[in-house]
């Protein structure tokens, strides 16, 4: 059976995720605008920096830092960030960002995720209109980026 456009782009995001260098998660992102792929990205260390799969360990994991916390302790650049770095804003405006995610620690095909708060703010500023996520089980979620503007969780908390 022929896949829908959404399934097609999520499958490309899945293939992109396989280039990732994180030992905890595999994420791949594909930015599409006017039915054309404008850019791709995966989780990885900055260009030229040593990555976790080559080191053979994750420093955050070794320190017992839970996934989703203290990203400042991580050497990786998120898949969404890598797409945003590689495309112009005019190519991103009103586009759709497809993100595939896989949890390597828990090996859960129903891994449920969405962009982190920093990536959400970057996506908003880029002008992307829609984010669609998918996982190994085929579960999909859609996020209207404009709805994030009303989301209190985007607020930066200070102590």
Domain membership of residue 159 (yes or no) is no
pLDDT band at 157; cut points 50, 70, 90 = very low
Q: What is the pLDDT of residue 149?
A: 87
Instruction: Please give the mean pLDDT across all residues of the chain.
Output: 89
Domain membership of residue 145 (yes or no) is yes
Q: Which CATH number characterizes residue 88's domain?
A: 3.40.140.10
Can you give the residue range of the structural domain that contains 74? Answer: 5-154
Element (H, E) at 14: helix 5-17
Write the pLDDT tens digit of every residue in 10-39.
999 999 999 999 988 899 999 999 999 999
Domain membership of residue 55 (yes or no) is yes
CA angle 126, 21, 122 (to 5 degrees): 15
Write the pLDDT tens digit of every residue in 70-103.
877 788 899 999 999 999 999 999 999 999 999 8
The pTM for the full model equals 0.91
**What's the domain count of the chain?**
1
Closest to 44 in 3D by CA, of 20, 24, 27, 63: 20
Domain membership of residue 40 (yes or no) is yes
Per-residue burial over 30-55, b = 16 or more CB atoms within 10 Å of its CB, e = otherwise: bbbbeeeebbbbbbbbeeeeebbeee
Domain membership of residue 70 (yes or no) is yes
Q: What is the DSSP string of 36-89?
A: EEEEEEE-BPPTTS--HHHHTS-HHHHTTPPTTS-GGG---B-HHHHHHHHS-H
């Amino acid at each position: 059976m022929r896949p829908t456009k959404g399934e097609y782009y999520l499958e490309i995001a899945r293939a992109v995720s396989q280039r990732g260098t994180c030992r905890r998660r595999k994420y791949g992102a594909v930015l599409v605008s006017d039915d054309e792929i404008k850019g791709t990205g995966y989780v990885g260390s900055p260009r030229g920096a040593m990555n976790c799969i080559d080191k053979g360990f994750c420093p955050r994991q070794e320190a017992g830092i839970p996934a989703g916390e203290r990203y400042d302790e991580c050497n990786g650049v998120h898949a969404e960030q890598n797409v945003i770095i590689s495309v112009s804003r005019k190519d991103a405006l009103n586009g759709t960002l497809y993100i595939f995610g896989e949890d390597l620690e828990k090996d859960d095909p129903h891994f449920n995720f969405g962009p982190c708060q920093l990536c959400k703010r970057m996506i908003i500023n880029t002008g992307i209109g829609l984010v669609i996520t998918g996982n190994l089980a085929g579960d999909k979620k859609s996020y209207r980026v404009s709805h994030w503007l009303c989301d209190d969780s985007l607020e930066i908390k200070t102590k």
